[in-house]
Each structure stands twice: as C-alpha cells, then as structure tokens.
Chains A and B, each alone.
Chain A
Amino acid sequence: MQKQFFSVFIALCAFVAVQAQTADDILAKYFENTGGLEKWNALSSSKMSGTMSMQGMEFPGTIYSARPNKQRVEVSVQGKGIVQAYDGTDAWWINPFAGGDEPQKMPAEMSEEMTKQKFESEFLNYAEKGNSVELVGKETIEGTETWQIKLTKQNGDIEDYFFDAEYYVPIMVRTTISSGQMKGQNSEMYFSDYQEVDGMMFPFFMESKMGGQSVQKITIQSVELNAAYDDNFFAFPKK
C-alpha cells in the first residue's frame, strides 16, 4: 500500500517538475504574487527606512533609489550622518568617521557593486536587458523547498535565486563577491517578513550571511514608493 502511494507521489513529482515549472513560469508567478507586472513596470522610486545591524551595532538608516540606477543611503551613527550615493556617474560618500564631513568620491573597489546595480528588477523583461535565466532545480533552503533560478546578467555576473516553491517569492539570493579580500566567496542574502506596500509585496527583513555566518541584518520599518526626487539628491555635491 505504502509502496503504491510512494510511486504515485514520484510520478506526480516528475510530472510537476517537467510539465509545470519553467523559469518563466516561476518568474511570472513571482511578479503576479507580488503586485502584478503593471505595478512592477510602473515603479519609479522607493524609499526604505529601517535599522541595520552589523558587528553587534545597530544603526537607523534610509535608502533612496530611483530609475535607472540612482541610489542614496543615509545611515545615522550617533547623530552623525554617513551618506553613500550614486547618480549613475559618480559614487561618493560622506563619512565623518574617516575623512570628515566633506563628500568624497568612493574608492573604485568599494563602489563597484554599487555602480552595477539597476533600479528595475533584473528579472523584469530580462531578455530585453540581455539577461538570461535558467531553472537549476529544487533546493532546500532554511528547511524550505525552493526553486533555484540562475540569473546571468548581461555583464556576465551570476546570481542564484531561490524561490519558495509554495509562494514563489525569493527567500534567498546567492552572489559571488567579485572584488576585494573576499573575492570569490559566496554571500547569501535571506529574505522574509514580506509585507504589502501599495499593493506590492516586499521583504521587510533581510539578513546577509557568508559561510553561513550572519554579517548584517536589515529590518525595514517603512517603505514609500514612487515619490519624485531631484537629480541633485543623488549627485556628487557641487562646491
């Protein structure tokens, strides 16, 4: 009896795996479950405020980002503001703890990851962007069944996403660090606490780990979408 039951299960498994799941299916469900393509395509900017903790310290901060690749991070350390920003041309920062209150251009090694980031999801119209996706298979992440999708970006960078097999949202992404002392090491970012903002679902908690060890935790308190920001807000301040 049990044996029969098992073979039915296997058959179903195989059926589901072959028939029902392609990378495109999974991505379609992901966008559908997190607000729909229309909303994703219309998304123009975001502002997230929350708390970041690393090395035993906690800091409040805010991240602004806007199309196509503008970013600005503000972190408050004991009333002192650390700013990091990128306007598509210059990556710069203000770090009162090293170099004073004047904005400075970021060293290339530090800004590399930042300058590669696009605002729009790499999965959205991925083919037009020159990206490719591949369904690698099933993988258990944090005790949860996931589909692993390998994203190869136009620039050759590879990121592995692990989508919850039940709800089709990513619960982990694995990237390989491309520069610096950690070059070649994998870094994993875990997502949870998905919550709704203006009809879209976003993770309100993220934890990055290296070699299974927690590096940084981010707890989001609030999210604001589609606000307008002046270009100067992201640009290296003129004197």
Chain B
Amino acid sequence: MMYRKIHFSLFLLFFAGLAGLQAQSDKLSGLLGSIRARHIGPALMSGRIASIDVVNASPEIIYVGSAGGGVWKSISGSADFRPVFDDYTQSIGKITIDQSNPQTVWVGTGEPWVRNSVSVGNGIYKTTDGGTSWKLMGLKDSERISDIIIHPKDPNTVYVAALGHLWNANEERGIFKTTDGGTTWKKVLYIDENTGGADLSMDPENPDVLYAAMWSFRRQPWNFDSGFNGKSGLYKSTDGGATWNTIHNGLPQETLGRMAVAVAPSNSNVVYVTVECKSKDKKGLYLSEDKGASWKKVSNDFNTTVRPFYFSKMVVDPKNDSIVMKCGLNMIISEDRGDRFRAIDGSVHSDIHDIWINPSNTKHVIIGTDGGVYESLDRGRSFKMWMNLPVSQFYHVSVDDDRPFNVYGGLQDNGSWYAPSRKAGGISNSDWKSTFGGDGFYSFRHPTKKEFIFSEYQGGNLVRYNSKTGMAKEIKPYPVAGEADYRFNWNTPIHLSPTNTDRMYFASQYLFMSTDMGDTWKRISPDLTTNNPEKLKQKQSGGLTIDNSDAENHCTIYAIAEAYKDGNIVWAGTDDGNIQVTANAGGSWSNVTANVGGLPANTWVSFIEPGRFDKNTAFATFDGHRTGDTKTYVYKTTDLGKSWVSLTTPQIEGFAYCIRQDLVNPELLFLGTEFGLYISVDGGANWAHFENNLPRVAVHDMVIHPRDPSLVLATHGRGVVLLDDITPLRQLNAEVLKAPLHFFELAPTVLRDPGAGGSWFGGSGNYVAGNPPSAAQIGYYMSKRHTFGKMDIEIWKDGKLLRTIPAGKSAGINLVEMPTSMEKPKSPPTNNRNALFGSLFGPNLEAGTYEVRINKGKETYTSSFTLINDPESVYTEAGRKIQRETTMSLYNLSEKLAYIYHVFGEIEKKAGAVSGVKGKLKKSLDQLAQNARIGKDSLVALGGDFYVDSDERLGERISDLYRQISSYPGQPSTSQSQRATKLEKDMAVLQTRFDAFLAKDFAAVNKALAAAKMPVLTYPTFEAFKSEDTGGSSKDGGQLLIDNHLMYNGLTRSPMGMQWILGWLNL
C-alpha cells in the first residue's frame, strides 16, 4: 500500500513537470472547455446522400448515411433525426442493418460515388446498441466501401465490397468476408491494386451464391478514367466466396466499366446488371433469367447509362421481380423487367444514389439524392422531402456587416445561399435565400453596394445577383483575340479586395481584376500555372463514358488573396502546385513554389491567408490528396515567399483545406482539414483538435467576422458552423494557462429584443437552428477542475446581491451565462395561466455594469459584465424609463399583495389553531379566522385549471399586467398605463382594508388573548416574508420562453427531479 502511494505521488509529480514541457497542445482540446460550435444548417437543400437503410420490421427506425455529414438516425419515421456517428469520419459509403437483430448496424465509410470533391473513409464500423456506440472493425485502408451484405442465417458472416483508393493504387480492395463478426477478414475476391468491389448481390434462396461487380478506375486532378486498366468484370461465386468466375455470356465483349448488379429478392433466377462500355449501342441494362448464365440487353434508357461512376445503383422490388428501379440523373422505374421505364416525380432533386423499398409495402420508397432524402407512398409518382437533415456541403463561406450578420456560401449541386446568423425563434429553412443555382462555390455580398451578391456555378460561371430585383447577370470574362482559351477551375476563386471595396478578382489560368463589379475585367497576370498539356484534357476525361463536366479542368488558379496590409501585394495559388506573388498589383510576378521546402512538386495550393499584421507574411495550405498524398501541408512565410517554415505537427490529421490568422491575436491560428478544425494559440507550434459539437467533418473554408468575435466554418457535410465568441481564445497565453482562475475580458452584451413570434406549430420534421446565447456571459480559465467545496457565482449591483447562480467547474475555459433578469416578484398563488406566466419572471436587467463574485472555497474572485442597450433599437430612453417604472410599480404591487395574502393566511391558520379556549374568546378567534379567510380569498381566483376554467381577481390582474408590460422593452400603451394606475388605486383600497383589519379585528383578539394570559398571534414582517424562498424563478427574460411554449411544456410534461434522483442515488 505504502509502496503504491509513493509511486503514485511520484507519477503526479512527473506528470506536472511534463505538462509544461509538452506545451499545452494535447490537453488543449479538453481545455477549450465550454466554447461550443453552433450549427445553423441548413436542411432545406440538405446534401448528398450515399446510403439509406431501414429496419424492415419497424420502418420508423431509419439510418441515413451522407456523403460528408455522417450517419443520422430516426426512431420516428423521419419526424426527428439525430447524428449518431460524430466521432468518426463523416463520409459514408454503405449502411446495412442486421435485420435479424436490428440493434446491430454496419457502416462502411468512404463514399463510393466518386466525384471530384468526394471525401474519404477509413474502414468499416459496427454498432450493437443501435448506434449509441461504434467500433472500428478493420479495412482501414479501403478508403471507400460500396456494399455490405449480412448472411441471413448467420449474422457473424458478412460480405463487404471495398472500392479502394480513388486517386492511387492500393491493395485493401475487392470483396472481403468475415465469419466472426468482423474480428478477422479474408479477401475472397481480389483483381488487382486498381480494381475494387463496386456492387454486391446475394441470391435470396441460397446465401452462398453471390454476384460481384468489380470496377477498375482512377481519378487524377485532370482526368477521370472509368475502365482504367481493363480489369472490370462481373463475377459470381456459388460457394460463399471461396471461388469466383466471370459471368459475361451475352455482355459486351470489350472493356467494361462500373456496373450495378441486383438479384430479384422474390426470384433468384432474375438478375439485372447495368453495363458501362465504350460502344454506345452495347451499354445499358441487361437481364438474366437464368441466374447470370446468360444475359440479354433490355434497355439503353439514358438513365441506365448516364455517369456510371455516380449512379450505378439498382434495386428490384422485394415482391415483384419485374419491377426494377435505377438511380440516375433522374430515377427511373420499370414494371416489366426493363422493357419500358418511367421517370419519378420531377420535383425530386436530381442525382439519385440510393433506394430503399419497404418489403411489406413495396409502394413505399425512400431515396437519397444530391439534395437529401425523399419518401414516396405511391411507388415514385410523388415524393415528399425530409426537411431535417442538415448535411449540406458548403465549399466556401463569407459574411457581411449587417446586424446580425448574414452568412453566404455555395454548395455541392445545391446553389448559393445566404441567411442570418441569428433570428427570433431560431434560424429555419425558410430563412435561407437563394442567389443562384447549379453547384455553388464562392459567394459574397458587395461591401458597399449592398443589393449585389456575387455567386457562381461550376467551371467559372460568375454571376452578379441583385437581391432587390431577384435578377442575376452573368459576368464571367471571355478571351480576347489572340488569347488562349480560359481554363476555369470547377471551384473558381472569387476574391474581394480587403483594401478597396470596389476591387474584385477572378481567375482562370490568368488573374483578372475588376473595379466595376465584374462588367469589365483587366487581366493582371500571365498564365500562372504549369500549363502542362498532359493535364489539359477535360474534354476526353471520363474513360469509357465521356464526363466533360468541367470537374477536371486543370492548370488553373485556385486561390487568390490580396494582402490585408498592402493592396499591391496579391497572392495566387494554382491547382498544379504554383504559388505566385506580385508586389506591384500584377505588374510582375514571382513564382515562389521552389522555396517551399519539403513539399512534393505539383501539390495543389488549397488556400492562402496573407498575414493580418504584416504585409510580407502569408500562410498557405497545400493538398495532395487528389494524387494520393494525404499528408497535411501548412506553411508560413514572413518574407513574401522567399522562405517558408512548416507549421505541420503530428497533432494534425487530414489533408489541409484552409487556414486563418486571427484579427486580434497574431498567435491564434485556425486550420481546416478533411477531419475538422484545429486551433493553435502559439502561432502554429502546437495544434488542438476542436471537438465541442464539431464532428470530424471536412472544413473547406472559414472566415473570421471583422466586427463580431465569430469564426464561421464552411463544412462539406454539416452546413455552416459557428464559434460565436472566440474572445477567450484570443486571450489565452502561457500566463493565463498557469492561473488558478483567470477572467477573460468579454465585450459588453447588447440587450436584445428577443422578438416575438418566430416558431409556430409546424410539427416535427423541419430543421430549426439555435441562436447564440442572448444572455451576457462571463468567461474564466481554471488550471484545475473544481471538485471539492462550494463554488458559486454572485451577481451584485450597487452593493446589492441580485442573484446567486451555479459556476462552471471545468478545467480550461468556462463560459457561464449571466442572468438576464432580476428575481421574480413574490406573488400570491393562482390558477390562472397568464397570471402564472407573469409571476414566474423577474424584470429584465437594465443596461449597466454588474459586479460578479466567484466564491471558490475560501477564495473570492471578482469581475464584471456590462449590458448595453441596442444602439439600433426602436425604443426611446424616455419610453424605457416609463416601462421600467411601471414594471417596478407592478412588481411592488405583486409583492405587497403576496404579503397580505400570506399574512391573512397565517392569521387564519393561527387563529384556528389556538386551543383550550371557550366562549367569547373562542368565538372571536373563529370570527377572526373567518374574516382572514374571506380577506385572503378575495385577493385571488383559485380553483381553476390553468386553462379555460380560470377567473381573475386583483392578484391575477396585477400579475397579468406585469407580464405584459415587463416583457416589452418600450413604452407601455396608454391603456396599460391607465390600468396600472387603476390597480394601484385598488391596491390602496385593499391596503386600507388590511390595515384596518390588523388595527381592529386582529388587535382586539390579541388584546383578549393577552388578557387571558395566552400567547398572542403573530405574523411575519414584510422583510421576513420576502427573504423566504417560495420557489419558481426564471433566470432568463420572459418573452422568448412564453412564445416558444417551452415553459408550459416544461412544466406540464417533464419528469422533474428525475435526473436529481438518478445522480444522487448512485453515489
């Protein structure tokens, strides 16, 4: 025992010593404490869906796998969804539920629909508790998993089709099999390091019979090749995967591409396959009616052949072998084995990737598209969209200077949009406004000519949208005589000058500048790329199927950044690895690529962030994943690119997309990678992964708001995400990290009018994002968690204690919301709902500075917070003053009335309880009790039901008027003011009556008691009454809560105290 103790304290000592040496980095993730990301969606356009599965026996339980936003589960048939896979990679390939035990679900990561912007996976996961916890089961280098099939009789036997790497060769691909629930895997079908498993189907009658579509493919930044080295093929095994043979009898005898294969669940003779090949007359849908022994072509409908790399998915009706549904640019359905096809409801987003058909009711169909999930109950004739899956894939984000500021951005296949960063009732789908269609990328509002918003669609199509007229003008530059054709990146950079509000940039292989909002363009650079003819073959891209979508446009400028400190310095980064800079506004350019040490040649420049404090400084990220190099590259120069230092550390995971330097603290850096957000507080020497409500989602771009202390992230799978207040990060330094308790200096909080309305009874199923806290916050850093002894926070004003509230106890950054209101007024009981609402809320705190005392054990730490009135508010100072006075007058009336009610009650109780008296004294005591009761009962209307059986007396009148006036910040109406005066008069009359009762009835009885040598009756003083805790007080202002029906629901439906019991009894 002794032995152990000694070693233990040594351990602690060593640990403490090391904490300093190793810097704060590893611990920092945890110490970011209560800084929490806020997601604002949206979900109205949702995002690309890769896979859907549903529990057949309980179709209200649904799992949706998104291309970049993780796995979402509903247990309510889509009324509510929640993400269940946030701790893991967010790119999903395939979800398969074990239908014999639906608590077991397999998730293969890595999307198999391999477009240019696709994310990456890292293996196969399994849950055995319905998604609460997950375990990585291997196949870590498979990058993307296209199919998972569980043996119907033995759930430990599972077949997996692993597509493998998209951008380079690798060996962990093909068809895998486990017979021990995923502990070990056997690669049962392997073609080569370039060919993966694209689709798998199992014979419904014999689980040893399997069909596998193998696909040879490769993507490069400048080319896509479906068919690649010619090894694609359709294979069949009849012995549980032990041996495989090609089954090409009747299929085109030429190089094959991506195929989808599906056996009819109701008839194992019927097998469908879609075939990609070069010959236009041979590709299309093939049918076998003899288990794949022979094939005949049945259709070449456009959607059976379009973009096989994106749409090779087909599902056969579980009950009818003639009904086949095929994903495509549009989804098509045949009810006669592929002879004739019809298209589904045209209101569905294009690009369909997965289909689920309800086996019990095969007219019930759920599909996943580039724009979310849709559900049909009439076999695809009409679909309704699920509007609560915020898996939108933003490429870029920007902000404006409105109050509250708006965010702007463009999305994969979902256009360009903007929305406010806060809104009364929350930010809902309908708050998002579209500025253009197609695939959206950069989008900015003009800083001074505010009706104009610049947006774009794929391949360099720039538009200027007028938000007043709703019209968009296309303004992209065209080559003039003698110039080469312009090459625009899929994701072409638009850049607004930070030094001149009228200057903007746009780029092909050349850099352009405009000072008239894009009507005229001036070319200010030569070709800044390598202009390598081998990489300029967009028109031939696609392999077997030409795919000339601009996605493989290469040797283009991808990043533009004008220096914040000098408008003549402009940086340009290209997708083929050049980083170039001009110091004379494009007069001359230096290619500084060779100075970036340790960077492989031609590594894509993903982002350039000029220094915020020094014109010669810049940060740059490079991204080689499209050529198979997934390392993180982050660099900094302080001499305009002549030399670079790497800021990459082993703490960072994922290829880098973007970097920002803080506007206030030069040492504070933010880095976005494929796996989330990293923060450095020491200039890039150490990085901490930010994990508070931010999943491992790709962060493609971010912006720090120039006025508000907000960091806004463009995630490629979870929409726009904000860190609303990064002030504490700005103030973190070595000294702060050592302090037992250090207060951050936060900006004054604007007292916001919460705004009435907002939410209404829309039912479930619509996404609504939360707002940032409207309360003031205090922030402090503690080097150690508070676990023992009391710790609370007192709020004082003018020497008076207003409230005591719980403190944040965590080591690291604590943010604690301050009250927005005083204590509620004392009030008599009521059974009237409106009066009850009134009596539950204290008046809002006034503008001013409030003292904060943190009592932590024996120590007291003091700080303050300041509330200011909204400078743009519509309420006058005079109006506010009257509101305040009237509110306080009613507040006092309520307390007086409560006191009188209480005293009447006490006297009634005590007079009735006097024992051992008879005759006259007894009679006068009874009379006193009765009078007290009558007096008490005349004050309030009890006996109601808080709803339609409620009456009102003076108590209710006061509380209801108090509710109305205290919840509106401006001048009360004349009627309200008159009503207040009337209630004051009523109260005066009551007071007189009450005083008389005390002076006459009560005094007389006490006199008689005294004469009889009995103890006299007493009642508490007003002060004593006021200090008694009768309970039920709100910390927040009243208006929002009432409007959201939250409080009423809280009161009536929550099992209050449950958590209390749970927590307590276990200890």
Contacts and interface: CB of A to CB of B under 8 A. Distances in A.
Given A16-B7, A77-B1031, A192-B809, 5 more contacts: A58-B1033, A60-B1029, A171-B785, A184-B132, A205-B791
Contacts of B791: 192-193, 205
A183 to B, nearest CB: 6
Categorize the interface residue count of chain B. 35 or more
A186 interface: yes
B132 A185 contact: yes
A181 B1066 contact: no
Top-3 shortest CB links A-B: A143-B811, A73-B1057, A142-B810
A55 B1047 contact: yes
Given A184-B130, A194-B788, A54 B1054 contact: yes
Contacts of B809: 142, 190, 192-193, 205
Nearest to B813: A143
B1056 A75 contact: yes
B265 interface: no
A98 interface: yes
B806 A217 contact: yes
A208 B1063 contact: yes
Nearest to B693: A212
Interface in B73-90: 73, 75-76, 80, 82, 84
B21 interface: yes
Interface in B1028-1067: 1029-1036, 1041, 1046-1047, 1050-1067
B785 A143 contact: yes
Given A55-B1047, A76-B1032, A191-B1063, A184 B1058 contact: no
A113 B115 CA distance: 48
Nearest to B791: A193
A179 to B, nearest CB: 11
A219 B792 contact: yes
A194 B1057 contact: no
A164 B7 contact: no
Interface string B827-843: 11110000010011000
B787 interface: yes
Categorize the interface residue count of chain A. 35 or more
14 contacts: A55-B1050, A59-B1033, A77-B1031, A79-B1032, A93-B1055, A98-B1052, A142-B809, A166-B12, A194-B789, A195-B788, A208-B1063, A212-B693, A217-B806, A219-B792
B14 interface: yes
Contact of A12 (B14, B1035, B1064): B14
B861 interface: no
A199 interface: no
A84 B1056 contact: yes
Given A6-B18, A20-B8, A59 B811 contact: no
A113 B1058 contact: yes
Contacts of B1035: 53, 56-58
Given A12-B14, A71-B1061, A117-B1062, A55 B1067 contact: no
Contacts of B1032: 57-59, 76-79
A171 B1046 CA distance: 30
A65 B1064 contact: yes
Contacts of A95: 1052
Contact of B14 (A9, A80, A82, A119): A9
Given A63-B1057, A78-B1031, A56 B787 contact: no
Contacts of A2: 21
Nearest to A192: B809
B785 A142 contact: yes
Contacts of B839: 78
A19 B10 CA distance: 14
Nearest to A34: B1067
Contacts of A84: 1055-1058
A49 B293 CA distance: 77
Interface in A179-212: 181, 183-187, 189-195, 202-208, 211-212
Given A97-B1052, A194-B787, A57 B840 contact: yes
Nearest to A20: B4
User: Of residues B4, B810, B1062, B1066, which shows the largest number of chain A Cβ atoms within 10 Å of its Cβ?
Assistant: B1066
Interface string B2-44: 0010011011101101100100000100110100100000000
A94 B240 CA distance: 61
B7 A12 contact: yes
A227 interface: no
Contacts of B910: none
A143 B792 contact: no
B1063 A71 contact: no
User: Of residues A114, A143, A184, A195, which shows the largest number of chain B Cβ atoms within 10 Å of its Cβ?
Assistant: A143
Interface string B128-143: 0111100000000000
B1033 A73 contact: no
Contacts of A54: 1050, 1054, 1056
B1063 A206 contact: yes
Contact of B1065 (A71, A166, A203, A212): A71
User: Of residues A19, A58, A84, which shows the largest number of chain B Cβ atoms within 10 Å of its Cβ?
Assistant: A58
B710 interface: no
Interface in A22-49: 34, 46, 48
A13 interface: yes
A9 B1051 contact: no
Contacts of A142: 30, 33, 785, 809-812
Nearest to B26: A140
B332 to A, nearest CB: 36
A77 B785 contact: no
B1061 A73 contact: yes
B692 interface: yes
